Amino acid sequence: MLVEGMSLATLMDTMFSAPIAHRDAVRYIATALDDLAVTPELGPIWHLRYLYDDQPGSLRVVDMEVATPAGTLSSHDVWLRLPV
């Protein structure tokens, strides 16, 4: 899947359904962003923003966004693939 590319949202859905702890899945996804080719090009300054469950006091990540100086990209707009 990563050879042809996939959205960050698809990667999150896949990892959240894996038989690992949710917090580990979030950590693995965040780490993977440094190792994968990301489209659109994020530039040198970007920040991964975590979106949490609606329940008060919840620290369960349900989505991620990428904030850049040019604006914020949703997980559906960020495309990941293996570097060539």
Q: Structure tokens of 73?
A: 């990209």
Query: Which domain covers residue 33, as residue numbers?
Result: 6-81
Round to whole Å and give the CA distance between 40 and 80. Answer: 9
In a domain, 66, yes or no: yes
Three-class SS of the chain: CCCCCEEHHHHHHHHHCCCCCHHHHHHHHHHHCCCCEEECCCCCCCEEEEEECCCCCCCCEEEEEEEECCEEEECCCCEEECCC
- Output the tens digit of pLDDT for each of the chain's 84 residues: 667 889 999 999 999 999 999 999 999 999 988 889 999 988 889 999 999 999 888 889 999 999 999 999 999 999 999 887
Domain count for the chain, please give it.
1
Angle between helices 8-16 and 22-32 (to 10 degrees): 150
In a domain, 17, yes or no: yes
